[in-house]
Amino acid sequence: MIIFDEIQAFPKARQAVKYLVADGRYDILETGSLISIKENVEHITIPSEERRVKMYPVDFPEFLAAMGEQVLLEHIRECFRRGAALEQPIHARAMRLFREYMLVGGMPQSIVAYVENGRDFYASVPPRSYP
């Protein structure tokens, strides 16, 4: 598999995808900003083999599942369905997790790094070097 990340920055590489697909030996994945992809098409042949897939960030229920909080998620859903308030300790835990979600963000790679580093915000931050 060949992955072209931020393909909009390299229009000629995008054009080459057509030939790589025709070659048949490679699976190709292109990523990039749709706005920029539409802009950088001058003087290139757009590969007819391209298929667009919309990607969305992880939502809070998906974040809870990634954190191993399926039981809490089901309890929140059940209380919502019944129109019942969450118990105060459960509500506090859900709000703490929501703050974590807001800090980590909804990008899957960020969430994976957060989980792999033991939910430590500083574990994946490289140390600063000062002159």
> What is the domain range of residue 98?
60-116
* Residue 1 placed within a domain: yes
**Alpha-carbon distance 7 to 13, whole Å?**
7
Token pair 């118990």 is at which residue? 87
Taking only the tens of pLDDT, the chain with its 131 residues reads 888 888 777 777 777 887 888 888 888 888 776 545 555 566 666 666 666 777 778 999 999 999 999 999 999 999 999 999 999 999 999 999 999 999 988 888 888 888 988 988 777 555 555 55
The DSSP output letter for 75 is H
- Is the same domain home to 42 and 71? no
| 31, two tokens | 């990523």
- Residue 122: inside a domain, yes or no? no
Q: Specify whether the CB–CB gap between 31 and 3 falls below 8 A.
A: yes
Distances in Å between the Cα of 121 and the Cα atoms of 57, 100, 103, 109 are 19, 9, 9, 14
Q: Answer whether residue 76 is part of any domain.
A: yes
pTM: predicted TM-score of the whole model, two decimal places = 0.58
Give SS3 for 28: strand
